Amino acid sequence: MPLPTDERLIALSDQILQQFDTIFGLNPGFRPAHAKGIMLTGTFTPSAEAATLTRAPHIVCDSTPVTVRFSDSTGIPLVPDNDPNANPRGFAIRFNLGEHVHTDIVSHSTDGFPTRTGQEFLELLTALATSDPKNLAGTPLEAFLGSHPKALAFVQAPKPAPSSFARESYFGVTAMKFTNKDGVSRFGRYRIVPEAGNEHLDDAATAAKGPDYLMTEIVERVGKGPVKFKIMVQIANDGDVVDDATIHWPEDRKVLELGTLTLTAPVADTAREQKQIIFDPIPRVDGIEPSDDPLLELRAAIYLISGRRRRSAPAS
């Protein structure tokens, strides 16, 4: 995962990381966003129809080992799982294709993203850092949301707490370009759907939960049996916008099943592994390419820069 050479991209990445540090404080050894998490292992098994979409190596293999990370929002390592700010939840998946060879999916539990570009995202974070979200009147955040309707829609979208990480659906933020063995390419976005079905809690039930209820529950659940998800891809039609994460495609678009994710055990030393692993939102694998969405290169740069910073932090 190389660091980009575009100086403007690196500078923008650094500015965004500085705003995360301002909002959440400095927490060496942890991610600037989605700091609190837990990792599990398992396997991915492709569906029979997956090869019609992509020739990617984890699609043509019978199965591929995976490492995943569930997480809460915010850059606060001890954020309570039942804090409303802990939504949306994150779900990152690494397909381990060989020694030091992998491809990843990075997703979260709200469909879409508040801004189209990294510069807009910086403006949103800067407004958030200088505003009181509980008293918006006259604040920079109110002004930003008032002039960016897609960001306002994202902020206002319902984000109920799940009863379990295994009872939540997750969405890829950006579109990818999938190419099959015949060279046919189509754009699509990931949707990750729990086999157990979605189950969300109301505010009272959430408040009654403990601060680590999700982290504890997923370990207990996987100890009783495999936790399964279907990895789906919503396929864009010709003419659909594929380079803007704020735009939703109509629900009548075809959804193809890529395969089944089966999680079987927690990672033994999850704290150490979370500090080391750097997920990559760019696929970097034959058969799945990034779209021209401007968020992709920026997110990859932020993940790498913050990951190197995290790895260099002294052991706690």
Mind telling me the catalytic residues? Answer: 34
β-partners of residue 105 are 93
Contacts of 85 (CB under 8 A, 6+ apart): 73, 74, 79
β-partners of residue 170 are 192
CB 231 within 8 Å of CB 44: yes
Identity of the amino acid at 225: G
What is the C-alpha radius of gyration for the chain, rounded to an integer number of angstroms?
19
Cα separation, 91 vs 194, whole angstroms: 12
CA angle at residue 243 from 9 to 234, to 5 degrees? 130
Q: Render 195-225 in DSSP notation, one character per residue.
A: TT---B--HHHHHTS-TTHHHHHHHHHHHHS
Record the tokens describing residue 4, joined without a space.
Answer: 């980009």
Alpha helices in the chain (DSSP H): 7-24, 57-60, 118-129, 140-147, 149-156, 203-207, 213-224, 270-276, 295-312
Cα separation, 215 vs 36, whole angstroms: 9
Contacts of 38 (CB under 8 A, 6+ apart): 69, 70, 71, 165, 215, 218, 219, 266, 267, 270, 274
Q: Between the CA of residue 174 and those of 10, 69, 133, 202, 242, what are the distances in Å?
A: 20, 19, 27, 29, 8
